[in-house]
Amino acid sequence: MQVFTCPFCGPRNETEFHFVAEAGKVRPDTTQPISDAEWATYLHTQRNEKGPVREVWMHTTCAELFVMQRDSVTMAVLGTQALRKDGS
């Protein structure tokens, strides 16, 4: 079992969390024409980097989104940060 720290609730069992997306992924401008291939790449392609990564996670208990920095090789959590301003 691994413990993740929700910026709003504190340390909790990893089973209370859900991966959402890579942090910093830029959504294509859909007000302009976009090919199916470009849209599919946005939806399904991950950088899948080794080492330190930034990801958006949800704590399913409080339903808040936050950024988790973790090492994708060791699985060590390097930090968490609230996405909304009033999180601590």
* Minimum distance of Zn ion from residue 86's CB (angstroms): 13
Pairing assessment for the beta strands 64-71 and 77-82 based on DSSP bridges: antiparallel
- Going 9 to 11 to 13 to 15, the CA torsion angle's sign is positive
* Minimum distance of Zn ion from residue 39's CB (angstroms): 32
Structure tokens at 43: 């939806």
| Of 8, 22, 56, 69, the one binding Zn ion by CB under 5 A | 8
Stretch that binds Zn ion, among 31-39, 41-49, 58-66, 78-86 (CB under 5 A): 58-66
Residues lying near Zn ion in the complex (CB under 5 A): 6, 8-9, 59, 62
